[in-house]
Amino acid sequence: MDVRARYFIEPKSRSEILTLLNYRSMIRMPFLVLGGGSNMLFTGNFEGLVIHISSKGIQWKEDVDGTVLVTAEAGELWDDLVGFCVGKGWAGLENLSLIPGTVGAAPVQNIGAYGVEVKDCIESVHYVMTDSGKEMHLKSGECQFGYRDSIFRNSLKRRCIILDVTFRLSAGDSEEKPGTAHLKLDYGTIRKELEDQGISSPTIADVRNVVCAIRRRKLPDPAEIGNAGSFFRNPVVDEATRDRLSSAFPTLPSFPDTTGKYKIPAAWLIQQCGWKGFRDGDAGVHAMQPLVLVNYGLASGEQITSLMQRIIESVQNRFGILLQSEVNII
């Protein structure tokens, strides 16, 4: 989207982030903390301060239980961190390969893919309050993680800046003992992809390579066509609602989650309503993945949100399910 900020600043270290908070006149104006911008849709110019976090650095240490604690600065690119950890033979993040964005944004919406959520590996989150400049730590269990949700999207939204995130990973692969990590292979087509490649004893690197290949096939490259990845959350319903929908729509797919409820693929709902491949001017629904809204060139943020609302209404009218945006609309 061709949008502008009234003010823009790019702190490249933790100390620069903390120094920024001393300029109270800047923080009193509307501000927006930006990571990679991969999960944001701007509907117009931002009449305030955009703070683009660009701090870099990765540190690690082995714990007594054989795990590794990895602390990454908020501005590190997420997939760079995943690649770094896989290269070291540390297991846990490989299913989250090729997700765009930065480390600091990962816990905000509890990013997830292929049977893994980032909360599964987070040890703690280190952040600073914008009103007081006080640095704080939250353990994973205190972050109120949920499906694409956390305390950082709710009570701490726009009240803090994440400085770094610490992950607890398994020291799984090494040259002496490859493939000993506890890998998660049963979500989506990971296991089939491995079998197709003749890999019977996969390593962490094998899983990362397969996940990257699947994502490249399924999702459009933002460098080639504007998109924010999956635009909608998969709705979660109780058993009674799932049974009612399955009775009316026998081909309805559903998957149990950890809370005893069921996830319904939003992509299936959208496709059933005829939106796959739809285009209105330069705003459209991707031809291969109906979960992705795309900008073919000159679509405005308002045109994308208008298309979003039309999709939400059609799904609700047909299935009685209210889709929710996974994208932050500014």
Any idea which residues carry the catalytic annotation? Answer: 148, 230, 326
Q: 171 φ, ψ to 5°?
A: -80, 80
CA distance 7 to 50: 6
> How far, in Å, CA of 18 to CA of 161, rounded?
10
DSSP letters for 281-302: TTEEE-SS-TTEEEE-SS--HH
Rounded Cα distance between 58 and 164, Å, is 9
Q: Which of 113, 288, 90 has the alpha carbon at shortest distance from 187?
A: 113
Q: Which two tokens stand for residue 8?
A: 């823009």
3-state secondary structure 120-172: HCEEEEEEEECCCCCEEEEEHHHCCCECCECHHHCCCCCCEEEEEEEEEEEEC
Distance in angstroms (rounded) separating the CA atoms of residues 225 and 271 = 20
Rounded to whole angstroms, what are the CA distances from 126 to 107, 135, 152?
Answer: 11, 7, 12
CB atoms within 10 A of CB 256: 11
> Strand, coil or helix: what is 194?
helix
Token pair, residue 254, equals 């559903």
**d(Cα 1, Cα 17) in Å, to the nearest integer?**
26
CB 121 within 8 A of CB 92: yes
Other C-beta atoms lying within 10 Å of the C-beta of residue 170? 19
